[in-house]
Every structure is written in C-alpha cells, then in structure tokens.
Amino acid sequence: MPVTVGLVILGALVAASVLAQVIAPYNPKRATGGINEPPSLAHLFGTTGQGQDVLSQFLYGGQNTLWVAFSIAVLTTLLALVVALTAAYFRGWVDDVLTLVTNVFLVIPGLPLVVVLAAFLPPGPLTMIMVLTITGWAFGARLFRSQALSLREREFIAAAEDVGESRWRIVAIELLPNMGSVVAAYFVNQVIFAITAQASLEFLGLGDGGQITWGSMLFWAQNSSALIRGAWWTFVVPGMAIALTAFSLALINNAVDEIGNPRLRADRLLRRAGVRKPSATLMTPVKRDA
C-alpha cells in the first residue's frame, strides 16, 4: 500500500536523524577527509568542499530540519484552528474581525514577506519557525472556518446548545473531533511546506550558515561550486533527503484524504471488489422521433 511505503520512508528518515549522535561516523563540522572526495568506504556519501563527511551532515541535518518542520506544522495548524473555530462558532463581529485578518495575510505576497522577515531577523531555527508560522497559517484558517461553518448548522450542535453545554466545550468536544481528517491532511501538507520553505530560505543564504541542515548543505555546496567541480553528491544527498521526505508525506496525505473523503473511500472499496465505475460519455443523448 502507498501509505505503508510513505510511513516506512518517513520512519527511516526520522529514526536516522534521531540516532545521528550514535550512527554518524564523524563530526559533521570537522574536516575528516580530502576536499570533494567521491563516495568511498571511508566516506559513504563523499565529502564536501571543506572536507566534511556528507553522511554525517545528512544525519545531523535531518535532525535539525525535521524538528523545525514539525514545529512549524504544529504551530500553524494550532493557530489556524483557534482562529477558524472561534470565527465559525461565535460569528458576528468576531467572525468579521478574524476573517479580515485572515484575508489580509492571504493577499500579502508570501515569498517576499518571508524573505524580508528572514533577512532582518537574527538567523537561527527559532527565527525560521516564527517567520514561517506567521506566513503559513492563513490558508488553514480559511479552510477550517468553512468546514466548521458547515458543521455549525448540524443537529448535534443544536442539541448540545439545548442541553446547556458551554461554548468552548461544544467547540472542543463536538466541532473539533468531526474535523479530524481535514486537520490531519492540512498538518501533513504543512510539514511539506515547512521543509521546502526552510530549505529554500537556507539555500538563498537567509538561514544560520553555522547550523547543519539539509538546506544549509545545499547552500554550501552552491557556495563551493560543487557542480562545476563534479562533486554531485554534495547536492544529491540533501536534495534526495528533502524529496523523499516530501514524497513520503504526500503518500501519507493521500491515505488521510481517502479516509476522510467518503467518495474516495467508496472508489477504493469498488476497486478492491473488482467493480469498474462506468466511464462518463461526452456525447449528448438524442431522442429519436417515432
């Protein structure tokens, strides 16, 4: 199953990153070999333009990259949920104000704002988390608000209000659990967004150059003209790490979407049963005259 493949790939990357201190053969910041040495038994992924072991940098870089990405995903999802549920349930002027704020963040060009904030704030993982959280929550708030507004009109919400349950209990116990699949899918997408955005900023030199991440590996490989010198491994290793992480999360996201979407779930059951859906026709039926 695709979801199994996604979980295995992501689990392997996370496990390798968590165990970086145990399985990394060298200190990622120290020169342990020649300049741009190709992959060998001594250095399985080769060395960088400064003689550092690429495998060790890959392991430590994954540790730094993944915790920042998951932190951003958690914060953007929570912020979007708080804004959306508050706006959808309380409505009135509360909804108007929060919707206005959300729309302002949606219309502001995201990339220029991220670049400006990252350029003027001190570099580091906390700055990266803050910048990408500020610029990445608005779409989720719009998505969750529309879902919550639909649920707000259901009978079980009216029944909960009739029995005297508090507003915040209704939001936490009645609304939020029924949005689980949408929230899970958005969270997975936010991890992908955070990894790619973080790597892009670091590749542009807007991250902390002294910290080992997959994005900073790409930055230093570009800085040392690795491709011109034929040191393709310094680009391929972090690039493949980012691509595999995004690929695994995309597989997981498809499974989450299938679980939460009744139409997709029905299509899957029909395929398993060997039933083929009738194909749509582009011809317009014409009734013959008697």
Q: Please tell me whether the overall predicted TM-score, pTM, comes out greater than 0.85 for this model.
A: no
Note the pLDDT of residue 172.
75
Question: Is the C-alpha dihedral spanning 196, 200, 205, 206 positive or negative?
Answer: negative
Return averaged pLDDT per consecutive 10 residues of the chain, 290 residues in all: 86 92 89 86 88 91 91 93 86 87 83 75 83 88 86 75 72 77 89 90 80 89 84 90 92 77 52 55 48
Note the pLDDT of residue 241.
93
Note the pLDDT of residue 182.
87
Note the pLDDT of residue 280.
45
Question: Is the C-alpha dihedral spanning 120, 122, 128, 133 positive or negative?
Answer: negative
Q: What is the CA radius of gyration of the chain?
A: 24
3-state helix/strand/coil string of 256-286:
HHHHHCHHHHHHHHHHHCCCCCCCCCCCCCC
Question: Is the C-alpha dihedral spanning 25, 30, 32, 35 positive or negative?
Answer: positive
State phi, psi for 251 to the nearest 5 degrees.
Answer: -65, -45
Question: In this structure, how many other beta carbons lie within 10 angstroms of the beta carbon of residue 204?
Answer: 15
Note the pLDDT of residue 71.
93
CA angle 171, 177, 182 (to 5 degrees): 110
Note the pLDDT of residue 290.
46
Note the helical H segments in the chain.
2-18, 20-23, 54-90, 92-107, 110-120, 125-136, 138-152, 155-162, 167-169, 180-203, 214-223, 233-260, 262-272
The span from the CA of 135 to the CA of 111, in Å, is: 9
Residue 22: both structure tokens together: 């145990």
The CATH code that applies to domain 2-272 is 1.10.3720.10
Contacts of 38 (CB under 8 A, 6+ apart): 46, 231, 233
The span from the CA of 174 to the CA of 176, in Å, is: 6
The domain segmentation of the chain, as residue ranges, is 2-272
User: Pick from 80, 58, 77: which is nearest to 69 by CA?
Assistant: 77
User: Pick from 227, 206, 211, 207: which is nearest to 57 by CA?
Assistant: 211
Note the pLDDT of residue 58.
93
User: By the 8 A CB rule, do 244 and 17 touch?
Assistant: no
Note the pLDDT of residue 284.
46
